[in-house]
Amino acid sequence: MEQLIVRLFLALFALEFLVEFGLNELNLRYVRARWNERKIPDFFQGKIDAREYDKSVEYTLAKGKFQRWAEIYGRLVTLWVLFSGLLPFLDGFSKDLASRFLPVMQAQGIIFCFSVALIFTFASLPTDLYATFGLEARFGFNKTTIKLYLADKLKALLLAIAIGVPFLFVVLWLMDATGSHWWIWAFLFISGFQLIMVIVYPTLVAPLFNKFEPLKEGEFRDRILALADQVGFRTSGIYSMDGSKRSSHSNAYFTGIGKAKRIVLFDTLMQQMTTDQGLAVLAHEMGHYKMKHIHRMLVIQTVMLFFGLYILSLLVNYRPLFSAFGLENPSNHAALVLFGLLSGPVTFYLGPLMNLLSRKHEYEADRFAAVTLRDGKSMEEALINLTIKNLSNLTPHPWYSAYHYSHPTPAERIRAIRQYSA
Ligand SMILES: [Zn+2]
């Protein structure tokens, strides 16, 4: 049985790798082929010059080539963690450590989960460092200093401990104490926790990393307040964020629910756009709020959590699953880690479905912006502006974008906006 489990996992793992790697190659070739036609893509003619187009292609190709190696490296790390005997070693190590210093039973589980997470974090450092200080810096995007980078990592680690330890403690305790229906209790606890995080993240966590300020007085602010009034969005929930501290990429987003909901505009975005374009972006974000997109996504996540925990409850005492990866005794903490590592090649195929839904939301928000402002042109210009400034890929392979993109391509969005406006 153990052999069958390992073989099945390896087959799914290899398939996931082939799909991921293949899509990236397909995209690289497609971008190069369009580039060789020496013609600026539709919707961008007259908006982008040849030099800017060249630069966006170079950036896309550089990222794609890096992705090749990052993909292979990441897979090797996962295989190493699963098959090198590391898991049984950490299991023993955490048991020793916990029995020596900590009285609670869940301590071993918490140490085990954290050591595995720490190993993945350290293993991702080389690719992360290169992406930030090599690739992004080469194209003029990176603004992070080594000092800020290290401070960010340290903060993230402390935060993971502050939130992760009590969270894991409760989950492990529920698994242990509530009998065979533990997964329903865990489901209730984790969904409640998720809901709290949606509120706590924008108001308490994100401000640890960035400064959020109300918009400065002026024409832009006045027009935003008028728009917010018209739409019924609480005007105190609109912020500017110092994104330029780390990167010159620009963006805007809508987050949170209830009183914690807010629209965040990067300072980089406000510098790059005209007032009309900025207002269109804001109307788009208000569209996400009006259409209840965050609520919908939360419901879907909750349903997936329910099924995920149910499946985990079937596997948690299944001995061969543990021995297949060198673990002598089934344990709740090892079940959590194994489930996390092994479910990737299965849930991978849910990614494009979630992206499909997310793209549907983006179309809805665009439509809302175009209709509310009675102006599709500014939204169109904002999109083109964002695409050029961020050196986004103008010509992704259709399969690649369908699989990986949470937003429709700029061309797809512009085509749709022209339809709404007509
Ligand atoms: Zn959006």
Distance from Cα 278 to the centre of ligand 1, integer Å: 13
CB count in 10 Å sphere of residue 314: 9
Per-residue pLDDT, 300: 95
Longest Cα–Cα distance in the chain: 72
Q: For residues 317 and 332, what is the distance between their CA atoms, to the nearest angstrom?
A: 8
Contact present, 241 and 210 (Cβ < 8 Å): yes
Long-range Cβ contacts of 153-158 (<8 Å, 24+ apart): 155/208, 155/209, 157/121
Angstrom CA distances, 343 to 110, 115, 183, 193, 229, stand at 20, 19, 17, 22, 45
Residues of the chain where predicted confidence (pLDDT) is lower than 70: none
Which residues have a catalytic role annotated?
Answer: 285, 366
Distance from Cα 357 to the centre of ligand 1, integer Å: 12
Per-residue pLDDT, 322: 96
- Give residue for tokens 């917010």: 228
Q: For residues 6 and 1, what is the distance between their CA atoms, to the nearest angstrom?
A: 9
Per-residue pLDDT, 233: 86
Per-residue pLDDT, 10: 97
Per-residue pLDDT, 90: 96
Distance from Cα 5 to the centre of ligand 1, integer Å: 41
Per-residue pLDDT, 48: 92
Distance from Cα 66 to the centre of ligand 1, integer Å: 27
Radius of gyration of the chain (CA): 24
Phi, psi of 420 (to 5 degrees): -65, -40
Distance from Cα 169 to the centre of ligand 1, integer Å: 36
Residue-wise pLDDT for 18-60, tens only, equals 999 999 999 999 999 999 998 999 899 999 999 999 999 999 9
List CB contacts of 81: < 8 A, sequence separation 6 or more: 87, 116, 119, 120, 341
Distance from Cα 281 to the centre of ligand 1, integer Å: 8
Residue-wise pLDDT for 174-213, tens only, equals 999 999 999 999 999 999 999 999 999 999 999 999 999 9
Q: 185-209: buried (b, 16+ CB within 10 Å) or exposed (e) per residue?
A: bbbeebbebeeeebeeebeeebeeb
Tokens of 413: 């969005």
Per-residue pLDDT, 104: 84
Kindly state the helix (H) or strand (E) to which residue 261 belongs, with its residue range.
Answer: none
Per-residue pLDDT, 259: 85
Per-residue pLDDT, 42: 87
Distance from Cα 359 to the centre of ligand 1, integer Å: 8
Residue-wise pLDDT for 277-305, tens only, equals 999 999 999 999 999 999 999 999 999 99
Nearest to 242 by CA among 117, 148, 371: 148
Parse the chain into domains and list their residue ranges.
2-189+322-349
Apex 160 CA angle, 101 and 201, nearest 5: 145
Per-residue pLDDT, 260: 86
